[in-house]
Amino acid sequence: MADNLIEKRVEEYLRQAPDASQEEIRQFRELVEKYFLGELDPNEFKARRLHMGTYGIRATQDIHMMRIKIPMGKLTPEQLEALADVAEKYSKGVGHITTRQAMQVYWVPTRESAYVMARCAAVGLTTREACGNSVRNVTASPFSGVDPAEAFDVTAHAAAVARFFLRNEVSQKLPRKFKIALESSPDRDLARTAIHDIGAVAEVREVNGKKQLGFRVYAGGGLGAAPMQAILLEPFTPVEEFLRTCEALVRIHDRLGNRKSKAQARLKFVVKKLGEDAFRKEVFSEREKIRPIAYPEMTIFETDEKPPKTEGIVPVVDPGGNFARWKVTNVISQKQTGFSCVAIRLRLGDITSEQMRGLAKVVRKFCGGYLRAAITQNLVLRWVRDEHLGALYRALEGLKLAEADAERLLDVTSCPGAETCQLGISASRGLARALEQKLREAKLYGEDIDAIRIKVSGCPNSCGQHHIADIGFFGGAAKVNGHLAPHFNLLLGGRTAEGVAEFGKPVLKLPARRIPEAVIQMLTLYRKERLSEKESFRTFNERVGLEFWKEKLQPFATLPDFEQSPEAYRDWGAETDFSLAGMGPGECAA
């Protein structure tokens, strides 16, 4: 009976979906049936389901994490409600915003994965090519179109790129995944363009007295176990040539990428093998073979978003609570006078179904439906009238979405880690929770340390972007006193700027349970030994060097005897002894 009901709902949602989505979801349902009948090789099914955004979950069989693409992070209230539905039905009522502006839901049975696809397709979202060796979700600054520092709004351009590559035969069977990011504001680089296969930064030039829109195009960046900074491919690519340039880069990756070794299959290794000049020559030669691609969106200069009409909102001057702090840390003025963006801090990127539904109502009421997801695992409301900030705070407070300190020290980024990922070695989310809790208890606040960013990954692959954090950690394991214990490797000094990716330098490996006190000691030493209050944490690190930290943090590299303190050998959040059971081959490159 339940299966029949799900089938009926799938068909109901498919009737509301685009034709292309209807066809591919029906085909996927047929694949699922063949798989369970034993008519389809499991490895072939794995590759096919990954192409449709459906991952395996650690220590499970035929239960999945599903990733839903949110191009540019742009969400409507209706889409948020659809995501709330699937999270409530399968994912223990929680959706997870990723570091690439997508949402992940968990614990979806194979036979019901088509329901998630259909529910999302009915509101214009897709899981297709969210995983696998294809062009992944196209990301962009969540402030594009409203940023006072931007060259021009890149939202429409990013949407054109996403639409162009979706289902495009040129990007269906690449050697490895391919990531594209667009940035509207060169001085801010919120899209982290230097760590992408293609990073495009908006620029406006004047040609014969007319404005010419274009991009500085970077190529061949990436994180993972072998992080590399993107090279400048071209200092100015006119917008009319941008799609053709992107296709040329994808074709070069397809033709020259390493198909024998997935560990060396990203575009960055093609750049490394050929050298920068030869790589550029290959790309430009390939571009000449491609016919011009006409997309009218490529000429758009300003956002097409209009100031919302809001009715029935009573201004609240002082809503109480933590409003003053929230206004400082979470509210960003738009370039449009009288309007602001508001960052909604999601701890570890998590948001409940109830919160999503409530937020959809808030977005409709306060900002005309304008909402973006950010690569910092937060959400951004746009077009909030300044006089409505107090009332908005009160509404968000009722949803438990009025946390201050967005994009600050306490706002720790983390990948899913060993909780669900087959590659996860240690519990990155558990450590992130512990770090926030212990930092709060230590009352470590202040402008001098607020800008320090902490990022955590459960393995070396950098889904938590630990390489580009001021303080980064990636998971590992080591034996201490004869017992296996979860550890994290500490990196210091990572950052990005336009065209720049400085990767954190390794310091030492620390037991997971000692890390919060080690970080507290680091911040305390920084405040005590800096030359002045104006010396930033980054400058301090560069001055004192890695040996300073190795010496100061060495006491935190030990654990008490196991018999004396067995809990010290457990992962954060775990009630049993640590082990590597449940790990398996990752599916990112399957």
Q: Residue ranges per domain, the chain?
A: 2-121, 147-299, 323-398, 422-569
Could you tell me how many residues make up the chain? 590
CATH of 2-121, one of 3.90.480.20, 1.25.40.10, 3.40.50.1360, 3.40.50.11810: 3.90.480.20
> How many of the other CB atoms lie within 10 Å of CB of 376?
23
At residue 2 the predicted structure's pLDDT band, cuts being 50, 70 and 90, is: low
**Do residues 50 and 131 lie in contact, with contact meaning Cβ atoms separated by under 8 Å?**
yes
Q: Which fold has domain 422-569?
A: Sulfite Reductase Hemoprotein; domain 1 (3.30.413)
Output the pTM of the full model.
0.96
Mean pLDDT in the chain? 95
Q: What are phi and psi of 162, to 5 degrees?
A: -60, -45
Answer yes or no: is pLDDT of 6 > 90.
Answer: no
Answer yes or no: is pLDDT of 1 > 70.
Answer: no
DSSP bridge partners of 492:
471, 505
Q: Which fold has domain 147-299?
A: Sulfite Reductase Hemoprotein; domain 1 (3.30.413)
**Do residues 152 and 213 lie in contact, with contact meaning Cβ atoms separated by under 8 Å?**
yes
pLDDT in tens, 110-148: 999 999 999 999 999 999 999 999 999 999 999 999 999
Residue type at 316 in one-letter notation: V
CATH of 323-398, one of 2.40.160.10, 3.40.462.10, 3.30.70.3340, 3.30.565.10: 3.30.70.3340
Q: Is 323-398 in the same CATH topology as 2-121?
A: no
Of the candidates 238, 240, 245, the one whose C-alpha atom is nearest the C-alpha of residue 285 is 245
How confident is the model over 479-490, as a mean pLDDT?
Answer: 96
- Residue 583 is predicted with a pLDDT of 80
Angle, helix 537-553 to helix 515-529, in steps of 10 degrees:
130
How confident is the model over 444-456, as a mean pLDDT?
Answer: 94
Q: Which residues of 105-126 are buried (b: 16+ CB within 10 A; e: fewer)?
A: bbebebbbbbbbbbbbbbbebb
